[in-house]
Structure 1
Amino acid sequence: MPRAAVRVLLLGLRPFPQALRVQERCVAAARAARAGAGAGAGAAESLVLSEPAGPVYAWGLRGEPGPAAAAGLRARGAALVAARRGGHVTFHGPGQLVAFPVLDLRRRRLPLRRYVGALEELGLRLCRRLGLGAARALPPPFTGVWLGDSKVCAIGVHCGSHITSHGLALNCCTDLSWFEHIVPCGLEGKGVTSLSQELGRHIPVEQVLEPFLDSFREVFDCTLVFSEEPGD
């Protein structure tokens, strides 16, 4: 059986809300493809990659900040965005690789928990490629990729009609001071780190793209096809 093809959309430096809208168009296309081809066929799958152009605090289903906290975050110059994913509030900003895989879990016969594990494995393989062999995943309820007690890659997903959205955020050369104003992902007593901090040198997002895509291809057993973003 031929390997599944996943369309890759490289958005580059892009406002976070714009990347969300591209993702939603990919989700709509995947659902339409599944409906049009019949329940037994696979949907059109995509991988949306971007680097947020400005500081944003985004929260999932459980983490909306109260009015006073929201006003304080806005006063620091950050935007606030609600995201349809699991999890609490986290930060997105320049120096971070944000990946939104839009995959058909039904066709892949992949339960949601195993899908989250696959995203963690993707992050672990990437870290190993970069020389960070100590990276690890923690047992539930923790998610993401960790170096010691600090998270380098956060994961928060949504799945509707077997089609995934949202995904992961990898700190490459992110300004970690933005995380000091929240409890990242709702985890008390845990820290946040970046590839640059761990490796002791500047690691821009562009430098991570190739090993990230290699790791994605391995974990999800697919071929990658680079594409223009879908229209409005």
Structure 2
Amino acid sequence: MKKRILFFEDLGYKKYKETWIYQKILFNKLIHQKKICDKKIHGYLLFVEHPHVYTIGKNGKEQNLLVTSNFLKKINAEFYQIDRGGDITYHGPGQLVVYPILNMDYFFTDIHKYLRFLEEVVIHFLLKNYGIKGERINKNTGVWLIKNGTYRKICSIGIRISRWITMHGFSLNINTDLRYFDHIIPCGLFNKGVTSLKEEKISFYDAKNLVKKSFQKIFHIEFI
């Protein structure tokens, strides 16, 4: 199978709104390339770490944000209603956020399969590098770890697809301060906790490189 070509960019530490705008620029660029049948590049992969921010998808419920706007200011956190699927989630320091902006015509035009592939990137990363078994839960998109019989989410996923171009993506808790999740009902799911890889003492730099390799393997791509 011929490998797809993606442009990779590590944005470092960047505010959410600036990154969202940049995603839209690349998204619209791919739509334009699709119209003129430009096949040189099949998409983009962005890595980023955000300052404290809460985002909620277009079908999310605002009551899943458990604090006031004044409280958000006190903890230096922003809040945005955005154009992805899913409910509310948190992004912040120590969390790797991955935004694949892909022309799915070069992969497969199946939303559910795409979500499973994103999950598989994280599952592969965890098992291959750290011997940690990531799990799926039926009807609850994301990747979970089981500890003492309890499911805790380590990776949240929320996407947008239009004209088979994707944007948004997934977040993976590496050394995340999980206390910030106390201010929301993550993904609108009651009685489900969150977790991170903090106990594994993984460096953020190493995690980025290894997630990149897992993405490359699962999606069968080359980076430029």
Please report how far the alpha carbon of residue 45 of structure 1 lies from its aligned counterpart in structure 2 after TM superposition.
Answer: 0.5
Q: Percent of aligned pairs with the same residue? A: 29
Q: Unaligned regions of 5+ residues in structure 1, if any?
A: 226-232
Which residue is equivalent to 2:196?
Answer: 194
Map 1:45-194; keep pairs closer than 5 Å: 45-52=43-50, 54-65=51-62, 69-71=67-69, 72-140=71-139, 142-148=140-146, 149-194=151-196
Please report how far the alpha carbon of residue 32 of structure 1 lies from its aligned counterpart in structure 2 after TM superposition.
Answer: 0.7
Q: Is the 8 A contact 2:119 2:143 kept in 1?
A: yes
* 1:16 aligned onto 2:16: yes
Q: Unaligned regions of 5+ residues in structure 2, if any?
A: none
Q: How many residues align?
A: 218
Q: Secondary structure at the match of 1:98?
A: strand
Q: Is the 8 A contact 2:43 2:102 kept in 1?
A: yes
Q: Secondary structure at the match of 2:182?
A: helix
> How many angstroms apart in 2 are the aligned matches of 1:175 and 1:132?
23
Please report how far the alpha carbon of residue 183 of structure 1 lies from its aligned counterpart in structure 2 after TM superposition.
Answer: 0.4
Q: Which 10-residue stretch deviates more, 22-31 or 67-76?
A: 67-76
Please report how far the alpha carbon of residue 22 of structure 1 lies from its aligned counterpart in structure 2 after TM superposition.
Answer: 1.5
Q: C-alpha root-mean-square deviation of aligned residues, in Å? A: 1.9
Q: Is the 8 A contact 1:42 1:104 kept in 2?
A: no
Which residue is equivalent to 1:228?
Answer: none
Please report how far the alpha carbon of residue 164 of structure 1 lies from its aligned counterpart in structure 2 after TM superposition.
Answer: 0.5
Equivalent residue letter for 2:161: C
Map 1:2-41; keep pairs closer than 5 Å: 2-37=2-37
Q: Is the 8 A contact 2:66 2:185 kept in 1?
A: no
Please report how far the alpha carbon of residue 150 of structure 1 lies from its aligned counterpart in structure 2 after TM superposition.
Answer: 0.4
Q: Is the 8 A contact 1:42 1:107 kept in 2?
A: no
Please report how far the alpha carbon of residue 196 of structure 1 lies from its aligned counterpart in structure 2 after TM superposition.
Answer: 1.2
Which residue is equivalent to 1:230?
Answer: none
Q: Secondary structure at the match of 2:36?
A: helix
Map 1:212-227; keep pairs closer than 5 Å: 212-225=211-224
TM-score normalised by the chain length of structure 2: 0.91
TM-score normalised by the chain length of structure 1: 0.88
Which has a greater percent of strand?
A: 2
Q: Residues 116 and 136 from structure 1, CA distance in 2 versus in 1: closer, same or farther, beyond 3 angstroms? A: same
Q: Secondary structure at the match of 1:156?
A: strand
Per-residue Cα deviation, 1:86-137 (whole angstroms, up to 9, x for no partner): 1111100111111110112233223000000000000101111331432111
